[in-house]
Chain A
Amino acid sequence: MPLLEISHLGIDFGGLRALSDFHFTLDQGELVGLIGPNGAGKTTVFNIVTGVYQPDAGDVRLAGKSIVGLKPFRINRLGVARTFQNVRLFGGLSVLDNVLIGFNQSVAHGFVGTLLRSHAHQIEEHLHEQQAIELLGTFDLLDRLHDPARTLAYGPQRRLEIARALATRPKILLLDEPAAGMNPQEKIDLMNLIAMIRRKFSVGLWLIEHDMKLVMSICQRITVLDHGETIAVGSPAEIQENPKVIEAYLGSPEPA
Chain B
Amino acid sequence: MTQTDPPFTATMFQRRRVPGWAVNGALLGLVVVLWFIGKAFDKNLDPYYLDLLLHIGIAIILAVSLNLINGITGQFSLGHAGFMAVGAYVGGVILKHAAPQGAAVPVMFLGLMILGGLAAAAAGVLVGVPTLRLRGDYLAIATLGFGEIITVVLNQIESIGSYEVGGSAGLHNIPITTNFFWTFLAALICVVVVARLVYSQKGRPFFAVREDEIAAAAMGVDTTFYKVAAFVVGAFFAGVAGVLSATLSGNLDPAAFGFVRSIEIVMMVVLGGSGSITGSILAAAVLTLLPEWLRALESWRLVIYALLLILMMLLRPEGLLGNRELWWTRRRLLAVER
Contacts and interface: CB of A to CB of B under 8 A. Distances in A.
Contacts of B204: 97, 100-101, 104
Interface string B196-233: 11001111110110111011111111110000000000
Given A88-B215, A102-B219, A165-B219, A122 B20 contact: yes
Chain B CB count within 10 A is highest, among A92, A165, A192, for A92
A168 B217 CA distance: 11
B133 interface: no
Contacts of A122: 17, 19-20
B333 interface: yes
A209 B232 CA distance: 43
A68 interface: no
Contact of B333 (A73, A77, A145): A145
A81 B201 CA distance: 19
A158 to B, nearest CB: 12
A126 B17 contact: yes
A24 to B, nearest CB: 20
B160 interface: no
A115 interface: yes
Interface string B318-338: 000001000000001101000
Interface stretch (B5-13, B31-39, B54-62, B289-297): B5-13
Interface in A34-81: 50, 52, 71-73, 76-77, 81
Interface stretch (A133-141, A216-224, A243-251): A133-141
Q: Which of B6, B23, B217, B275 has the most CB of A within 10 A?
A: B217
* A-B pairs, 4 with minimum CB distance: A117-B20, A142-B8, A90-B211, A137-B10
Contacts of A189: 1-2
What's the interface size class on B, roughly? 35 or more
B197 A111 contact: yes
B162 interface: no
Interface of B: 1-3, 6-10, 12-13, 15, 17, 19-20, 23-24, 192-193, 196-197, 200-205, 207-208, 210-212, 214-223, 275, 323, 332-333, 335
Contacts of A192: 1
13 contacts: A73-B221, A73-B223, A90-B207, A96-B333, A101-B204, A104-B202, A104-B205, A111-B197, A114-B196, A115-B192, A121-B202, A133-B10, A137-B10
A115 B193 contact: yes
Given A88-B212, A110-B202, 19 more contacts: A81-B219, A100-B201, A101-B216, A101-B221, A104-B208, A107-B201, A115-B196, A122-B20, A125-B201, A133-B13, A133-B333, A137-B8, A137-B10, A140-B1, A143-B7, A146-B332, A164-B219, A167-B219, A185-B2
A126 B18 CA distance: 12
Contact of B219 (A125, A134, A143, A168): A168
A140 B205 contact: no
A82 B20 CA distance: 36
Interface string A81-110: 110100011111100110011111101011
A124 B203 CA distance: 13
A170 to B, nearest CB: 10
A171 interface: no
Nearest to B194: A115
Nearest to B210: A92
Contacts of B1: 140, 189, 192-193, 196
A117 B201 contact: no
A9 to B, nearest CB: 19
Given A109-B202, A122-B17, A92 B323 contact: yes
A116 interface: yes
